[in-house]
Structures are given as structure tokens and as C-alpha cells.
A = this chain, B = another copy of it.
Amino acid sequence: MVEAPETAEGWYALHDFRTIDWDAWRDAPERERERALEEAAAFLEHREALARSDEGDSATFSVLGHEADLLFVHFRPTLDELNRIERSFEGTAFAEYTERSYSYVSVTEVSGYVSDDYFEDPESVDDGLRRYIEGKLTPEIPEDTYVSFYPMSKRRRPEQNWYDLSFEERADLMAGHGDLGREYAGKISQVIASSVGLDDWEWGVTLFGDDPTDIKDIVYEMRFDEASSKYGEFGSFYVGRRFPPADLPAFMAG
């Protein structure tokens, strides 16, 4: 058996995708709508306020296409907090106008491919690397940004079996992948979270960027990289744009 990488885990992540029940919304009396919008905005603002207290982060996105209208992203130190958030949202009047169309449960992860030394002794690595790794484990969501989310796994086919490669081969491939990612530094930031044992694919990838063509470009370029071209298997892709909870009324007004 080949060697599995060591891993460090940070915040748990919930990606909560919802469609709007526009028929119900259109038919709702004005007063009901106002109350629903107030409750939802308060709920979302309260969640996002956490970002300032280092206990996680939350954000709301407007999603394109028929699979979802809204995406709520929540990062929290425990799975239990995520569980409470999804249930308490259902207690708001606004929830009546939404239906869950997809979700993803994962935990931010940094693995030994990035730095063997860090896993032997976190104090042995320089501050920059340590801050980099810790930033990956407790990510902040940029203010005005586009998001792309997709789940992925590594293949286990006869000639394309990631889990059959030696640690060194995998580390080399991940290093090449990382170099490519760094070319997009300043344009794209990404959150990698493992969902092994937690959800249907092995990882959830969340990309943030100011220009959606940068999102397209990085994913396209990486697809030519062996780590993806031979070993990557991808699920559905969702694209959206962040908006502040206070803009929910404008969002619902079309």
C-alpha cells in the first residue's frame, strides 16, 4: 500500500444552494414579503458578522442558471454549528420561499504534499508558510467577488489511478498544480475542503475572483495539467456573485 499524505483540518464548510419559489413569492402579500426579507437579512447579517470575530465566515451569493438562485457559504469550527445554521434558517419566514436544491459538506484541509516539514513540526517552517497554511484552514471570503464551486474526486481507473501512485509522484503532480495556481495569485483565491466520508465526492473546491473569465481560465488551464487531465473527475459547476444581505430586497425584486 502506498503512503497516504498527512492532513491538517480547519473549519468545516457548508455550501447551501437554494432555488427561489418565485410563484409563492409573486403571490405573497406585501407585508409577508417585507417581514420575510427583514428576517432573512437579519439572519444572514448575523452569520456574516462572525467573520469579524474569527469564529468562521459566511457569505451570500446570487447564482446563475436553473440549479440554484442563492448560495449560502458557511465556514465554522464545528460540524454542529453548521447543522444548527441550516436548521435555524428553516425557522425564518423567508425559508418558505426557498427550496434546497443542492448542498455540500466538507472540512478545509491542507495535506502533506504542501509541506512535509509542517506536519513534522509546525514550528520548524517559516512564518510565511505557516500563515499560508493557516489561511487555508480558516479562510476569509472576499467582499465583492464571483464564486465558482465544484466537487471533485481523484480517479481510480486501471491506467489512471491516483491512489496507486507513490507519495513522491503525487507530491510532484500537486506541486505542478500549485505552481499553476500561483500564476493566478491576486486574481483567484481558492478554498480546498475534503469531503471524504462526509459527502459524495472527495473534495469541494471554491474559487473566488473579481472577473469570471479568470475563473474559466484557471480551471481550463489546470485541466491540461496531469493532476487533472489524467486523475481529476469533476461534478457540477455553480457560478454566482456575492451580495451583502442588505441587498436581498433588491435581489428578490429582479
Contacts and interface: CB of A to CB of B under 8 A. Distances in A.
Contact of A196 (B4, B91, B220): B220
Contacts of A83: 62, 64, 241
Contacts of A254: 84, 87-91
Given A156-B230, A198-B216, A213-B9, A225 B1 contact: yes
Determine chain A's interface SS by DSSP, over half rule: mixed
For the side of the interface on A, what is the size category? 35 or more
Contacts of A4: 220-221, 223-224
A146 interface: yes
B90 A64 contact: no
A196 B224 contact: no
A185 interface: no
Interface of A: 1-4, 7, 9, 12, 14, 16-17, 20, 22-23, 25-26, 62, 64-67, 69, 79-80, 82-84, 86-91, 93, 95-96, 100-105, 107, 146, 148, 150, 156-161, 163-164, 176, 180, 194-200, 202, 207, 212-213, 215-221, 223-226, 228-230, 232, 236-237, 239, 241, 251, 253-254
A9 B236 contact: no
Given A7-B220, A196-B219, A198-B212, 15 more contacts: A1-B224, A1-B226, A4-B224, A64-B103, A79-B241, A88-B254, A107-B212, A150-B197, A156-B223, A158-B158, A164-B230, A197-B207, A197-B239, A198-B215, A199-B237
B95 A22 contact: yes
Given A158-B157, A224-B2, A86 B105 contact: no
